[in-house]
């Protein structure tokens, strides 16, 4: 099961939002049924953010949201989400992991190109 939650966050709140989103993923990752999660920001619209998580099933996702620690750490953040459906049934799944062309020569944490600073790294 895939959960995608989108947010409209003013640029002035980006840093605080990212900290809250990381904290939310940290608490969600401890719940049964958790598989993975990511935080992203739209390339063409830096005020549009998404948090995506993967779960064993919709029951695991819903039980995670009702857990006390999640209610305290993640639900306040999730309550700011754009009002739209968030839970998606996965109909296909790939066993292959996509890698960049230079994945065999550039290690984790090594930039293949000069580092590009963003408003979040200043």
At 36-69, the pLDDT tens digits run 999 999 999 999 999 999 999 999 999 999 999 9
Q: Determine the Cα–Cα distance for residues 98 and 11; give it in Å rounded to an integer.
A: 31
Q: Could you tell me which CATH class the domain 2-88 is placed in? A: alpha beta
Q: Determine the Cα–Cα distance for residues 23 and 38; give it in Å rounded to an integer.
A: 12
pLDDT in tens, 4-29: 999 999 999 999 999 999 999 999 99
Largest CA distance in the chain: 44
- Give the other-Cβ count within 10 Å of 88's Cβ: 13
Kindly list the domain boundaries of the chain, sorted by start residue: 2-88
Query: How far, CA to CA in Å, does 16 sit from each of 4, 62, 74, 110, 120?
Result: 20, 26, 14, 26, 10
């Amino acid at each position: 099961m895939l959960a995608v939650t989108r947010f409209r966050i003013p640029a002035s709140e980006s840093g605080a939002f990212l900290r809250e989103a990381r904290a939310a993923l940290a608490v969600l990752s401890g719940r049964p049924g958790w598989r993975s999660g990511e935080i992203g920001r739209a390339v063409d619209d830096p005020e549009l953010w998404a948090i995506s998580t993967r779960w064993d099933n919709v029951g695991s996702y819903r039980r995670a949201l009702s857990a006390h620690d999640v209610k305290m750490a993640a639900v306040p953040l999730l309550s700011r989400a754009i009002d739209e459906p968030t839970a998606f049934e996965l109909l296909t799944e790939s066993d292959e992991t996509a890698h960049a062309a230079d994945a065999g020569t550039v290690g984790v944490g090594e930039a293949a190109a000069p580092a590009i600073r963003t408003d979040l790294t200043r």
